[in-house]
Amino acid sequence: GQQVMQIPQYQHVQEGEDFTTYCNSSTTLSNIQWYKQRPGGHPVFLIQLVKSGEVKKQKRLTFQFGEAKKNSSLHITATQTTDVGTYFCAGRRRDDKIIFGKGTRLHILP
């Protein structure tokens, strides 16, 4: 079963508002990656986090990996209509198996 909880499942925000999605794993992860999937498209790689407590920024996107390497977050500042899509986290467990969050579907209201 799913071992990475991702919340929220859906998020509607007004354009210009901030957005955050969270992933929580039941086990320690070796690393975590984030992907974005547009409606009808395939997942596209955004970032990889490896170190405990790591924070990375990409323009309006901020990614964090928790100190215990069990949780991660993606924060988008001042959302734009181009941010629409589903954001997934993917983690590699110690046994090398890859586990995904179910994703957060982001809707932007103009």
Partner 1 sequence: KAGVTQTPRYLIKTRGQQVTLSCSPISGHRSVSWYQQTPGQGLQFLFEYFSETQRNKGNFPGRFSGRQFSNSRSEMNVSTLELGDSALYLCASSLGRGMNSPLHFGNGTRLTVT
Binding site for partner 1 (CB under 8 A): 2, 31, 33, 35, 41-45, 48, 88, 90, 92, 96-103
Q: Report in angstroms how near the CB of residue 14 gets to partner 1 at its nearest.
A: 26
Output 50 or 78, the one with its CB closest to partner 1: 50
Q: Report in angstroms how near the CB of residue 103 gets to partner 1 at its nearest.
A: 6
Output 22 or 35, the one with its CB closest to partner 1: 35
Q: List, in sequence order, every beta strand (DSSP E) within the chain.
A: 4-7, 10-14, 19-25, 29-37, 44-49, 55-58, 61-65, 71-76, 85-93, 98-100, 104-109
Output 12 or 97, the one with its CB closest to partner 1: 97
| Strand duo 29-37 + 85-93: pairing | antiparallel
Separation CA 89–CA 102 (nearest Å): 8
